Structure 1
Amino acid sequence: MITGKNYIGNKLSAKGTISHKTINPKLNLQNEIAFTEAISEEIEDAVELASQAFKSYRKVPGTDKARFLNAIADEILALDQHLIDAYITESGLPEGRAIGERGRTIMQLRSFAELVSNEDWKGNKIDLAIPDRQPLPKEDLRKTVIPIGPVVVFGASNFPFAFSAAGGDTASALAAGCPVIVKAHEMHSGTSELVASAIIKAAEKTGMPNGVFSHLSGRGPVVGAALVKHAKIKGVGFTGSIGAGRAIFDMASGREEPIPVYAEMGSINPVVITPKAIATRGESIASTYANSITLGTGQFCTNPGLILTVEDENTHTFIKDLAEKTTAIDAQCMLHPNIKAGYDKNGTIVTSQPGVATVSKLETAIAENYAASQVATVSGADFLANPKIHQEVFGPFSLVVKSKDEAELIEIIEALEGQLTGTIIAEEDEISNLENIVDAMVNRVGRIIFNGVPTGVEVCPSMQHGGPYPASSDAKYTSVGTDAIKRWVRPISYQSFPKELLPKSLQKNK
């Protein structure tokens, strides 16, 4: 049941006087339940509980943490249709998407459970002492990783399950041994609270310390800023806009004790399509990318917002075909009126720049909060000359850049900000000629794709979901896949330590 209250550990709390309601974007109406926003006393209580819980939770064996994570998955599934209905009502997304995203969330939890069920993920190192080594003896050294402490996770607007209350940031932090305080996204507060209730139940059933998880509501930066600045918070996970992500990063860096912020912020995901690929299978590529551009109303961080090619006699036909196929797809509801307003505003900024031409825009009457998909085009020279054209338009929008030659295309890639993904569409007999394009792309992205689409992020150990700034705040880490756990631990070496005082995984002599 949705209560509209905060979870301070396993206790519901609503001490504040300010509340908000979520919006059903399809109906463009407020939903019924009001959510009481957390006040400073509740924030302090949640952080203090997390800090106390950390003292014991950091020592919980991996097998017990695995039971906890699997129990969370079980409790989420037990919410059944009630949870799916809340997701649909608050997001405007269809039931199939809700079920699919829930499945991904369950898989993430179980993947981390499997990972921590043994110690292999820690990559422990043991270097035995050599007392008689000359000219100096060698000390016994053993290295492992330990959790960093209580973590704040910000729920994402576009993934009410997979990047929110029990999403990848929360699952990986709990797997690492860090208590988590979730700042719920105000667009899906009810969905988030239901998932939070599942986490609390799982913690109680598996004997985890009270405070291992808390869940707070609040619009705007007030609650989030108080959490990030709190001295007992040791890390932050964030998925959202560049502006909000950078503000959180700056707050965390400005603390007396700076803490890491793992923010996944923005990307236009460049796609290079060679002229030969267009000539050979342009219509097929146009169909594939029309579906990718409009998938989920374009509300994915991996949406292909930039298509790059070298202009030739087939370019105009391809662009026209892509535009027609994109706008032929029925308009879909966006997550929230604010996101729809942002889509309209940023799309207008890009398409109003000198040299940018709108090829096709869905002009039929559409319902409130539904997005008109759009394809625009610009020359390579105009793109290079105007950084305003480079910005992300979050929604079903893509800009096709027509380069005069390969050298200009590579210059464009090198001029881009950091990106989550880059894609190359080419024919097999062109592979030997792609090295320069690949080299340029690898330097700007976290994941590079050949003859595919960037939308769709596989959850597996080899996935890298991050990239150079501003795609993410730290390009060394991923927010998807089991390596996401590395964000919430730090290395520690034990030198010449008595065996009895070492962690069990370091007590062996090999």
Structure 2
Amino acid sequence: MNVTPASLTTSFIGNEAVAGNGDFFQAFVPIRHEYLADEFSNVTSGQANLAVEKAATAFPIYAKLTSTQRADFLLFIASEIEALGDELIEQAVLESGLPVARLTGERGRTTGQLRMFANLLREGSWVDARINPALPNRQPLPRPDLRRMLVPLGPVVVFGASNFPLAFSVAGGDTASALAAGCPVIFKAHPSHPGTSSLVGKAIVSAAVKAGMPDGVFSLLHASNETAQELVAHPAVKAVGFTGSRAGGMALLKVAQSRPEPIPVYAEMSAVNPVVIFPGAIQKNAVAVASGLAASVTLGVGQFCTNPGLVFLLDSPQTEVFLETVAERIRASAPATMLNAGICQNYQRGVQNSRVLPGVHVLAEAETDAETNRTEGKPIVLTTTAPLFLSSPALADEIFGPTTLIVVCHTETDMAECVESLEGQLTATIYATSDEISSSGFDWVALLQAKAGRVLFGGFPTGVEVSEAMTHGGPFPATSDSRTTSVGTGAILRFVRPFTYQSFPDELLPPALQNANPLGIWRNVDGVMMK
């Protein structure tokens, strides 16, 4: 079997490279504020349905493959992505405006998480096998033989994120975890980086062919929003992965919940990632903490989902030093290219809407102006007081870009009321001494735990480690399901469900549940973990 040759402008319906029969569009080059010459074409509804049908046909075959076979597939994908070499990085630089070093690191993160899931599959215990052997002589009633494990849901639709062209895109965490779980993936490419998406899609299809995967285990579609919603509504689709705006995530959630068979949508949508700062934390290192805040706010032009967009600062003698340092660092920063024109315009609109509110002041902004003919975001920090923050709910809204709002609070009660007023977040951060937390009249860890999926004690939240213990999720609207994570090995649990075999002959059971435990995995047998 050979993969069909493909250009940058190609979609993939299973292993077949196809030109979309829908509308044409071009990739935007934000750093030059112009469009690339290559034209891309969206698929039609009929072509999208064909991709889902192929995925549905592939599912029963793919789901029955061994964990080792799926692990090998993921390893092939990682190798094929690396084989793209400089071409992939150069295309991503053009389409995103991100620097080479950032994208090189992101490629490493992408291949690294594929290999992480491959290791998870090879070890095998993630299936959570639970066995209750039959008790035929139990009184007053016998117990049947019961054996439970996690099984894949079915075809999954995944949407690419604008801010991570590689790590949260075609071969990113949603795709990797769904494929690891045994679910075919239909990927809707993000229009901000279509060429990058097609290159990675070609790599995945090539890997699928080399690994002997069923045709349809993966499809890459350039598609309109309307066609994308039709994908979510298709009865063969069993789950959705999404990283993007709150409006986009909620639109998909509405479609998924209005189906005759509602399905889960795992959407990461919006967060301001509050930072709570006590006097003791800045008494000896106000400059260091302030410098770290400014660096985190401007990192990646503020286009990380974990940039700290809100700071609650308890007023103290060190407050002025802290604010002066933040202002100094922000004034010295420079405007930088944002991911696309729409994101830049929304950023500028959000900043303007906040800075004109009564009681909101500009602490500092970059002294260098953004070029009017470029897609540049200008760093800015705003300040206000706790009463004004509480009276203006819009100040808690996310502004996606290099900005933060510092709320100066006169008492812990003020600060606690501000935190309690927030919606759900991906992260929250405490800067304090242990004594300040222990002697406080408020349980700050519990307050922040109720609002976020990850709480940091010191440091700043930009940077999400891909690991077993990471939670990248949080209460609504940070995500649509706070029980899940989109980063780390726990992400696989989004695309599986528990299933029990009752009174099956041993030879008909999957290896994970057979008496001999041929996989050598950890299993819960009558409440005892054993191999």
Q: Which amino acid aligns with 1:375?
A: V
Aligned equivalents of 2:327, 2:132: Cα separation in 1 = 61
- Which deviates more from structure 2 when the two are superposed, residues 314-323 or residues 27-36? 314-323
Question: Is 2:111 the counterpart of 1:106?
Answer: yes
Look up the match of 1:487: 494
* CA shift for structure 1 position 397: 0.4
Look up the match of 2:431: 425
Once the two structures are superposed, the pairs formed by residues 27-426 of structure 1 within 5 Å of their partners are 27-219=32-224, 221-367=225-371, 368-426=374-432
Q: Which amino acid aligns with 1:295?
A: L
- Which deviates more from structure 2 when the two are superposed, residues 11-20 or residues 233-242? 11-20
SS in 2 for 1:117: helix
- Which deviates more from structure 2 when the two are superposed, residues 495-504 or residues 338-347? 495-504
- Which deviates more from structure 2 when the two are superposed, residues 346-355 or residues 487-496? 346-355
* CA shift for structure 1 position 119: 2.3
* CA shift for structure 1 position 412: 1.1
Asked if structure 1 preserves the Cα contact closer than 8 Å seen for 2:155 and 2:237, the reply is: yes
SS in 2 for 1:320: helix
Q: Which amino acid aligns with 2:408?
A: K
- Which deviates more from structure 2 when the two are superposed, residues 426-435 or residues 149-158? 426-435
* CA shift for structure 1 position 363: 4.2
SS in 2 for 1:99: helix
Look up the match of 1:19: 24
The counterpart of 1:438, out of the listed 445, 448, 463, is 445
* CA shift for structure 1 position 129: 1.2
* CA shift for structure 1 position 326: 2.1
Q: Deviations 1:402-454 (Å, cap 9, x if unpaired)?
A: 11200111111111000000001123443423561111101100000011110
* CA shift for structure 1 position 314: 2.8
Q: Deviations 1:151-210 (Å, cap 9, x if unpaired)?
A: 000000000000110000000000000000100000000001100000000000010000
* CA shift for structure 1 position 3: 3.2
- The verdict on how the C-alpha distance between 1:365 and 1:326 changes in structure 2, with shifts beyond 3 A counting, is closer
Provide structure 2 residue ranges, at least 5 long, that are not aligned to the other structure: 1-5, 517-524, 526-531
Aligned equivalents of 2:254, 2:410: Cα separation in 1 = 40
* CA shift for structure 1 position 278: 2.2
Provide structure 1 residue ranges, at least 5 long, that are not aligned to the other structure: none
* CA shift for structure 1 position 18: 1.0
* CA shift for structure 1 position 365: 2.8
Look up the match of 1:497: 504
* CA shift for structure 1 position 48: 0.4
Q: Which amino acid aligns with 1:189?
A: P
* CA shift for structure 1 position 308: 0.6
Aligned equivalents of 1:374, 1:2: Cα separation in 2 = 41
Asked if structure 2 preserves the Cα contact closer than 8 Å seen for 1:419 and 1:446, the reply is: yes
Aligned equivalents of 1:282, 1:360: Cα separation in 2 = 17
Q: TM-score of the superposition, structure 2-length normalised?
A: 0.94
Aligned equivalents of 2:493, 2:307: Cα separation in 1 = 26
Aligned equivalents of 1:87, 1:383: Cα separation in 2 = 39
Look up the match of 2:529: none
* CA shift for structure 1 position 94: 0.2
* CA shift for structure 1 position 91: 0.3
* CA shift for structure 1 position 312: 2.7
Asked if structure 1 preserves the Cα contact closer than 8 Å seen for 2:20 and 2:222, the reply is: no
Identity of aligned pairs, percent? Answer: 47
Asked if structure 1 preserves the Cα contact closer than 8 Å seen for 2:287 and 2:321, the reply is: no
